[in-house]
Amino acid sequence: PGLADERSVEAQVRLGVESHLKHLDAAPAGFWLPECAWREGLEGVLESEGLKYVLVDSTALGGLTPFFAHRVEGSGLSVIARSERAHQNVWDEDIGYPTDSSYVDSTKYYERSGLHYWRVTGEDVPIEDKEVYRPAEAQKRVLEHAGHFMAELADELVECEGGAPEVPPVVLASYDTELFGHGWREGVYWLEVLLRSLSGSESVRPTTPLGYLAFGEPAGSVRLSETTWGTGRDHSTWLNVETRWMWEQLGVAQERLRGLAGSSCGEISERALAQAAREVLLLESSDWPYMVAKDRAKEYAIERFSLHIGRFDDIADALERGDMSALEVMLADIEDVDNVFPHLDLALVFGPGAPHDEGS
């Protein structure tokens, strides 16, 4: 969001599609952009990669119903908006299911063992006043919350009856997978109970976005508004006074990386160029400015961001000097720790026709 470089966005989408294909042995049909962010022009990027649909925040629809798919204006791309109600029930930091006093407090642990012994107990309760976690009680609450969610789904579907009778309505429930098991320890069990319950339901049928689109044509076209799912449904969660320096440094690194595109002239320099691209990809993670803006492990986020900037600059300096000896020593350490996209295809980063591209 915010100052994201257009060419970098294109590279990220290409890498996402390629990663999906590599690990799942199938091309993806749709895309969920980071932080549910949207801005005009992305439809062309997504369509060029063969994608059929995109998931967005409901505020992107400008007041249109989120219970049916729409077509992005001027394109063949379908759009499905997430349910705000389904989001709040599970993900909301104040009222979501994980805040229930019966569940494990994933933020408190015993320093000597790293184990979590306490339950949430209540808001802002200090660790010394936390109550001991009781698994049986937590399992009972999971059943209750799964039942509540089922009822909420049914209510939403009833509310939108008659909107487009030829196509059934849909409630899009989409969540970061890190929530389940990490942020919400019991979340995996909740998912199991919910999906087993839905499989036997006669009124609500679980499906995927692509499966839903098979029911019929979208309800109509829409010009999507620029949104995210952050505070205020804009970019301010990530782009603000506290984080602007991060975006500025990222922009410099992105531009410098493009300038290195023709510097590959052997195995070491090829590895170095790929690692420089990995460091920029790590810098582009929306987690860092989010953690700074929300003051959640803020110092750690700044440390990690600065670390990747430093590693990128060191690699770029050595590439520009043509210092293969320094690069070989450097890569021996960095490649092992920053190994995201281990088989990175540089043509996906720089685009076909770049100086390093063997096909050019």
Q: Which residues are catalytic?
A: 35, 176
Strands 78-81 and 70-72: antiparallel
Would you tell me how many other CB atoms lie within 10 Å of the CB of residue 40? 13
Asked if 197 and 142 count as a contact pair (C-beta separation under 8 A), the reply is: no
Any residues with CB less than 8 A from the CB of 166 and at least 6 apart, and which?
Answer: 216
Task: Say which residues have a Cβ less than 8 Å from residue 106's Cβ, sequence separation at least 6.
Answer: 98, 116, 182, 183, 184, 185
- Show the tokens assigned to 142: 């999971």
**Which strand (E) or helix (H) includes residue 79?**
strand 78-81
Q: What span, in angstroms and rounded, lies between the C-alpha atoms of 179 and 217?
A: 33
Q: Is 331 exposed, middle or buried (0-12, 13-18, 19+ CB in 10 A)?
A: middle
Please, where are the H alpha helices in 294-345? 298-321, 324-337
Question: Which helix (H) or strand (E) is 55 found in, with range?
Answer: strand 53-56
Q: What is the rounded distance in angstroms from the CA atom of residue 305 to the CA atom of residue 280?
A: 10
For residue 289, what are the CA distances in angstroms to 89, 136, 241? Answer: 25, 38, 11
